[in-house]
Amino acid sequence: MNGSPTEVALDERHAAAPRRGTPMFVRTALLVLRKDFAIEIKTLEIVMTTLFFAVACVLVFSFAFVREGQAPPDAAPAILWIAVAFSGTLALGRTFERERHAETLRALLLAPSPRPALYVGKLLGMIVLLALDEVILVPLIAFLFASPMFDRPLFLAAFLATGTIGFAAVGTLFAAMLMRSRTRDVLLPILLYPVTVPVIICGVRGTAALLESPADLPTATMWLSILFAMDVVFLTLALWTFEPLMNE
């Protein structure tokens, strides 16, 4: 070949820059989480807007359901889970819009890290965000509806944790895969809501069972175990399908 230097053997200078060990699955996921945290901490844009939206949601539903100062029974858990689902969907869209803006997700996919680790990093960020929402929503709803949400705090936390993980697991996968779609904004809720209906059912009915007086613990436990099984299935499927879905 004319004009090119003689083929260079595996050149020491190019073989590797100074390295500190290979990024593993956990390291990558945590790096992504830390990066999202660093972005969010500067403006708190997604946190604040999601929170305000969730509160607005609660109020809209309250005005729809409350009559003569009384909400129908089981309105409190229903409104809680709907607000989480709706604000979660918005947050998912916003989070992945950040990765789409300068196509940074492409750069991440190009990195030598295992692709599912990117998914896990995004998922963790989503869970933290929704948890922050719930920290505000639960007292608000308890206040507005005189609902004994804090009688069994650990149980309630377990419901919120498993339900949020289930919803976020599917949502993160769908939001990531729809990133290159022109119609991603409307397709995400269309796909996400029907698939996460069991999460909503279990969350609402389980929370409602907890709020009864006396609390119906066996029923609540049953709903919780279904939620847990769903989390396992959804997470496994998402980790399994993430990589093939991300190939262009």
Q: Which residues in the 184-203 window bind another protein by CB under 8 A?
A: 187, 190-191, 194-195, 197-198, 201-202
Structure tokens given for 160: 């919120």
Find the part of the chain contacting another protein (CB under 8 A) among 22-30, 81-89, 123-131, 154-162.
Answer: 22-30
Within 104-123, which residues bind another protein (CB under 8 A)? 104, 106-114
* Distance separating alpha carbons of residues 211 and 27, to the nearest angstrom: 40
Residues 6+ apart with CB under 8 A from 205: 77, 219, 223
**What amino acid occupies position 39?**
I
Nearer to another protein, 56 or 237 (CB): 237
Please report, in angstroms and rounded to a whole number, the separation of the first and last CA atoms in the chain. Answer: 33
43 belongs to the binding site for another protein (CB under 8 A): yes
Burial (CB count within 10 angstroms: exposed 0-12, middle 13-18, buried 19+), residue 47: middle
Kindly tell me which residue out of 19, 63, 67, 68 binds another protein, with binding defined by CB under 8 A.
19
Report in angstroms how near the CB of residue 245 gets to another protein at its nearest. Answer: 6
* Distance separating alpha carbons of residues 154 and 62, to the nearest angstrom: 26
Report in angstroms how near the CB of residue 211 gets to another protein at its nearest. Answer: 15
Within 86-105, which residues bind another protein (CB under 8 A)? 98, 101-104
35 belongs to the binding site for another protein (CB under 8 A): yes
Locus of tokens 């604000």: 87
Kindly tell me which residue out of 158, 234, 235, 239 binds another protein, with binding defined by CB under 8 A.
234
Q: Report how many residues bind another protein under the rule CB under 8 A.
A: 77
Kindly provide the b/e burial profile for residues 107-132, where b requires at least 16 CB atoms within 10 angstroms of the residue's own CB.
ebeeeebbbbbbbbbbbbbbbbbbee
* Distance separating alpha carbons of residues 84 and 76, to the nearest angstrom: 12
Residue 166 CA from chain centroid, whole number? 8
180 belongs to the binding site for another protein (CB under 8 A): yes
Kindly tell me which residue out of 69, 214, 218, 244 binds another protein, with binding defined by CB under 8 A.
244
170 belongs to the binding site for another protein (CB under 8 A): yes
Nearer to another protein, 96 or 223 (CB): 223
159 belongs to the binding site for another protein (CB under 8 A): no
Nearer to another protein, 48 or 195 (CB): 195
Q: How far is CA 140 from CA 45, 58, 60, 121, 237, in A?
A: 21, 9, 14, 29, 35
Give, in degrees to the nearest 5, the angle at Cα 233 between 209 and 88: 65
Kindly tell me which residue out of 42, 68, 69, 218 binds another protein, with binding defined by CB under 8 A.
42
47 belongs to the binding site for another protein (CB under 8 A): no
Kindly tell me which residue out of 56, 135, 157, 237 binds another protein, with binding defined by CB under 8 A.
237
* Distance separating alpha carbons of residues 61 and 67, to the nearest angstrom: 12
214 belongs to the binding site for another protein (CB under 8 A): no
